Amino acid sequence: MAKPAIVVDMELTEYTSCWEFQRAVHTARINNLLPDCLILVEHHRVMTFGRAKNRDNLLVSRKVLDRHGIPCVDIERGGDVTYHGPGQLLAYPIFGLKGGIGVVDLIERLEEIMIRILNRYGIAGKRDSRNRGVWMEGKKIGFVGIAVKKQISFHGFALNVNLDLSPFQMINPCGLQNVEITSMKNILGTQTPMGPLKGLTISLFEEIFDCSMEKRNPRQFI
């Protein structure tokens, strides 16, 4: 029987506000006040630096980022630097890792969800030995970076759907040099509506994690 879970769509939300919400949900999940929870969100423009950060992978000065309205935030997920912006779908599973799900298994499940999303839109996404995430013909389109505390995961994946890719030129994304970044819009030549894509994402999480998700309004959540 599918276990109960919750999904919250935060739509377009500033990064640190969502991060605070995510940590509050994570604490509630640790204390068994909530079941597993999935947060879907798009962020305003931001650079985030994970635990493996190398400042040399930021290729421009902070003054340049300030002129473009792009703040920098140090966070506790794995990995190096990446960019988030409107038109990128982020999925943050705040899930318990008991019952045989390990960190690598979680990462592979998140990659599989992105691969299946892309496949539904006729895009042949796949894994690549260079780095975790999802790739299309040598170009990176999906990113994974998680954290785990007290056997509960947070952070998650980012899938490039319709976003402006130019800020990626300011960094070595994920610490990778000379790697091209792409998006569904670049590949398909048209915008992909986010509503149906989010619905597909929820369905795939339910399938791959064997859960049944109830939608909640973030304003009434905790």
User: Each residue of 20-29: pLDDT tens digit?
Assistant: 999 999 999 9
Digit-coded pLDDT (tens) for 108-165: 999 999 999 999 999 999 999 889 999 999 999 999 999 999 999 999 999 999 999 9
Q: What is the pLDDT of residue 167?
A: 97
pLDDT value, residue 99: 74
Q: How confident is the model at residue 103 (pLDDT cuts 50, 70, 90)?
A: very high
Question: pLDDT: is 157 or 101 the higher one?
Answer: 157
Q: Give per-residue pLDDT as tens, 166-215.
A: 999 999 999 889 899 999 999 999 999 999 999 999 999 999 999 999 99
pLDDT value of position 176: 87
> What confidence score (pLDDT) does residue 222 get?
57
What band does 78 get if pLDDT is binned at 50, 70 and 90?
confident
Judged against a pLDDT cut of 70, whether residue 218 lies above it is answered with yes
- Annotation marks residue 18 as catalytic: no
pLDDT single digits (tens) 48-77: 998 888 889 999 999 999 999 999 999 999
33-37 contacts, C-beta under 8 A, 24 or more apart: 33/222, 34/6, 34/94, 34/222, 35/3, 35/4, 35/5, 35/6, 36/3, 36/5, 36/6, 36/93, 36/94, 36/95, 36/96, 36/209, 36/211, 37/5, 37/6, 37/7, 37/8, 37/93, 37/94, 37/95
**pLDDT in the model for residue 221:** 65
Q: Would the pTM count as exceeding 0.75?
A: yes
Q: What domains sit in the chain, N to C, each tagged with a CATH number? A: 3-220 (3.30.930.10)
pLDDT at residue 100 above 70? yes
pLDDT of residue 136: 96
Rounded Cα distance between 176 and 204, Å, is 29
